[in-house]
């Protein structure tokens, strides 16, 4: 089989991870059936592009199934969702696409349901929160592929210098930020509400205040009293007091916040597993604790997952199902998770990782997964709501702004978008 390679482009996935394009996929005509798979790249260099993972996986599968050829094309996160959309619109949908969203395709009736293609043991093995997030109207169409959670990272050297301990509550966090500011720390608490990370940072804070994007029955509740209280606190206790650094939160992107943390300029911020390597590579000694809540550790945290989807267009239902059962066996799930500092999406692989010595760095994130809540990705309206959050949410914490008014504007967008569902 011939492999083609292209250049590298830095990008960001739905998990909030920096990724790099490593090339195009496998080609060949050795099988009676060819499964076309489009996948996203999770690597941060050409050397660890996801292309390598899929090349190895496809080769191993084809060795056991000589009548099936797996043709894989890997795109950057900047391109993959658009490429799949263009393929679908041209009537050339792939058999499988590992991408950032699934609900629009499910709504159009283009996808196999999970129980159409997966064996019962494989479908039942998904972590329950992730499986539920993959449902539209009670049927699962999105197959979780890679997961992440958030914890609070803090710079140990800066904390020691300020004579403070890791925060457990909002008040602790504000006190720590004031102590760090007094020591001249550039970003006592980095609050990235810029477009790149806005939906994640927003939801993390909403959850810590007992709110969220939706209520218990799944209705948008963006301007709930709990959420208004949360953003009023952020405005008054952090931003107005100059404790979030020289860049306005609405202008601060996650990548810049992470880079500042790795440069020793940030005291605290919410982070996902890839920050561990970024900070360690720069020699920053960091600690991690659960996200602070109103009166102690937050009862819920943000969970994020990307999705595998199976398209009906080419009719390869049996072959798709058999290949996916292979993709989701523990060996392959753990291999992918360990390569890219991600969390397994299956219960059995999660149990293995929770006790494996080599995975202890990821255990704080794994512990949070069972407490996590995900974006309302099963709603076709979520794309419009997420875009509006990116546009507006920074205004909610600006000096003199009205959090209630800004959250109300986003809620109005959500209601309009939701009415079409």
Express each pLDDT in 122-135 by its tens digit: 999 999 999 999 99
- Can you tell me the distance from the alpha carbon of 379 to that of 387, in angstroms, rounded to the nearest whole number? 14
The residue with tokens 């041209």 is: 90
Other Cβ atoms less than 10 A from the Cβ of 329: the count is 15
Residue 17 pLDDT class (50, 70, 90 cuts): low
Q: Which two tokens stand for residue 229?
A: 């209280």
What percentage of the chain reaches a pLDDT higher than 90?
A: 82
Other Cβ atoms less than 10 A from the Cβ of 283: the count is 9
Name the average pLDDT for the chain: 91
Residue 98 pLDDT class (50, 70, 90 cuts): very high
pLDDT of 15 higher than 80: no
Phi-psi region at 341: left, alpha or beta (left = phi > 0; alpha = psi -120 to 50): left
Question: Which residues, other chains included, contact 160 with Cβ-Cβ below 8 Å and sequence gap of 6+?
Answer: none
Q: Which two tokens stand for residue 371?
A: 């407490």
**pLDDT given for residue 108 in this prediction:** 94
What percentage of the chain reaches a pLDDT higher than 70?
A: 92
**Cα angle, residue 307 at apex, residues 301 and 308 outer, rounded to 5°:** 150
Nearest partner of 153 among 257, 255, 286, judged by Cα: 286
CA atoms within 13 A on the CB side of 329: 10
Residue 28 pLDDT class (50, 70, 90 cuts): very low
Burial 113-135 (b: 16+ CB within 10 A, else e): bbeebbeeebbebbbebbbebbb
Question: Which residues, other chains included, contact 79 with Cβ-Cβ below 8 Å and sequence gap of 6+?
Answer: 9, 11, 21
Q: Work out the average pLDDT over 269-275.
A: 94
**pLDDT given for residue 77 in this prediction:** 85
Question: Which residues, other chains included, contact 91 with Cβ-Cβ below 8 Å and sequence gap of 6+?
Answer: 313
Residue 371 pLDDT class (50, 70, 90 cuts): confident
Backbone φ and ψ for 74, nearest 5 degrees, come out as: -105, 130
- Can you tell me the distance from the alpha carbon of 81 to that of 97, in angstroms, rounded to the nearest whole number? 9
pLDDT of 14 higher than 70: no
Residue 268's DSSP bridge partners are 154, 189
Q: Work out the average pLDDT over 66-77.
A: 94
Between strands 266-271 and 286-289, the pairing is unpaired
Residue 220's DSSP bridge partners are 214
- Can you tell me the distance from the alpha carbon of 304 to that of 293, in angstroms, rounded to the nearest whole number? 19
Q: Is the dihedral of CA 96, 97, 101, 104 positive or negative?
A: negative
Q: Work out the average pLDDT over 294-306.
A: 92
Kindly write down the DSSP assignment for every residue of 21-75, as one continuous string. Answer: -----B----SSEEEEEEEE---SSGGG-HHHHHHHHHHHHHHH-TTEEEEEEEE
Question: Which residues, other chains included, contact 353 with Cβ-Cβ below 8 Å and sequence gap of 6+?
Answer: 334, 337, 343, 344, 359, 362, 363, 366
Express each pLDDT in 372-399 by its tens digit: 999 999 898 998 999 999 999 999 999 9
Q: Work out the average pLDDT over 22-39.
A: 64
pLDDT of 5 higher than 80: no
Residue 140 pLDDT class (50, 70, 90 cuts): very high
pLDDT of 117 higher than 70: yes
DSSP structure class, residue 291? P
The residue with tokens 């509400």 is: 193
**pLDDT given for residue 46 in this prediction:** 79
Nearest partner of 200 among 209, 190, 189, 192, judged by Cα: 192
**Cα angle, residue 373 at apex, residues 367 and 375 outer, rounded to 5°:** 135
- Can you tell me the distance from the alpha carbon of 123 to that of 143, in angstroms, rounded to the nearest whole number? 9
pLDDT of 10 higher than 80: no
Q: Work out the average pLDDT over 127-153.
A: 94
Nearest partner of 309 among 47, 81, 22, judged by Cα: 81
DSSP structure class, residue 295? S
Backbone φ and ψ for 399, nearest 5 degrees, come out as: -55, 130
**pLDDT given for residue 22 in this prediction:** 36
Residue 25 pLDDT class (50, 70, 90 cuts): very low
Residue 421 pLDDT class (50, 70, 90 cuts): low
Name the more confident of 397 and 300. 397
Residue 20 pLDDT class (50, 70, 90 cuts): very low
Q: Which two tokens stand for residue 251?
A: 């202008």
Instruction: Give every strand in the sheet of 151-155, ordered side by side.
Output: 187-189, 266-271, 151-155, 286-289
Q: 41-45, 226-230, 289-293 — which is least confidently predicted?
A: 41-45
Q: Work out the average pLDDT over 410-420.
A: 90
- Mutual orientation of helices 403-418 and 382-392 as an angle, nearest 10°? 160
Residue 44 pLDDT class (50, 70, 90 cuts): confident
- Read off the pTM: 0.84
- Can you tell me the distance from the alpha carbon of 56 to that of 105, in angstroms, rounded to the nearest whole number? 29
Question: Which residues, other chains included, contact 251 with Cβ-Cβ below 8 Å and sequence gap of 6+?
Answer: 194, 394
Express each pLDDT in 252-264 by its tens digit: 999 999 999 999 9
Name the more confident of 42 and 167. 167
């Amino acid at each position: 089989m011939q492999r083609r390679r292209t250049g590298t482009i830095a990008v960001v996935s739905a998990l909030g991870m920096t990724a790099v394009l490593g090339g195009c996929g496998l080609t060949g005509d050795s099988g009676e059936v060819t499964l076309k798979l489009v996948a996203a790249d999770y690597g941060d260099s050409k050397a660890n592009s996801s292309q390598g993972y899929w090349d190895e996986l496809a080769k191993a599968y084809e060795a056991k199934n000589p009548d099936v050829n797996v043709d894989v094309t890997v795109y950057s996160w900047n391109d993959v969702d658009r490429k799949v959309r263009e393929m679908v619109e041209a009537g050339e949908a792939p058999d499988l696409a590992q991408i950032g969203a699934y609900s629009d395709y499910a709504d159009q009736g283009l996808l196999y349901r999970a129980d159409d293609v997966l064996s019962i043991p494989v479908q039942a093995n998904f972590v329950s929160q992730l499986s539920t997030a993959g449902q539209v109207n009670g049927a699962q169409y999105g197959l979780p592929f890679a997961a992440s959670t958030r914890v609070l990272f803090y710079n140990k050297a800066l904390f020691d210098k300020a004579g403070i301990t890791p925060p457990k509550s909002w008040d602790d966090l504000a006190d720590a930020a004031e102590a760090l500011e007094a020591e001249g720390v550039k970003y006592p608490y980095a609050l990235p509400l810029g477009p790149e990370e806005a939906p994640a940072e927003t939801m993390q804070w909403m959850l810590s205040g007992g709110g969220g994007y939706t209520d218990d029955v799944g209705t948008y509740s963006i301007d709930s009293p709990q959420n208004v209280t949360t953003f009023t606190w952020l405005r008054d206790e952090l931003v107005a007091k100059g404790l979030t650094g020289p860049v306005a939160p609405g202008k601060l992107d996650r990548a810049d916040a992470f880079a500042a943390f790795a440069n020793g300029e940030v005291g605290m911020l919410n982070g996902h597993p890839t920050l561990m390597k970024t900070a360690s590579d720069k020699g920053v000694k960091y600690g991690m604790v659960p996200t602070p809540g109103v009166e102690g550790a937050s009862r819920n945290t943000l969970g994020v997952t990307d999705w595998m989807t199976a398209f009906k267009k080419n009719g390869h239902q049996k072959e798709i199902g058999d290949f996916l059962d292979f993709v989701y066996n523990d060996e392959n799930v753990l291999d992918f998770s360990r390569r890219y500092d991600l969390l397994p999406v299956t219960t059995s692989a999660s149990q293995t990782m929770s006790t494996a010595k080599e995975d202890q760095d990821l255990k704080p994130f794994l512990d949070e997964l069972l407490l996590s809540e995900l974006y309302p990705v099963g709603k076709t309206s979520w794309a419009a709501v997420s875009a509006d959050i990116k546009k507006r949410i920074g205004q909610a914490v600006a000096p003199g702004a009205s959090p209630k008014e800004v959250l109300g504007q986003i809620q109005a967008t959500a209601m309009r978008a939701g009415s079409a569902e």
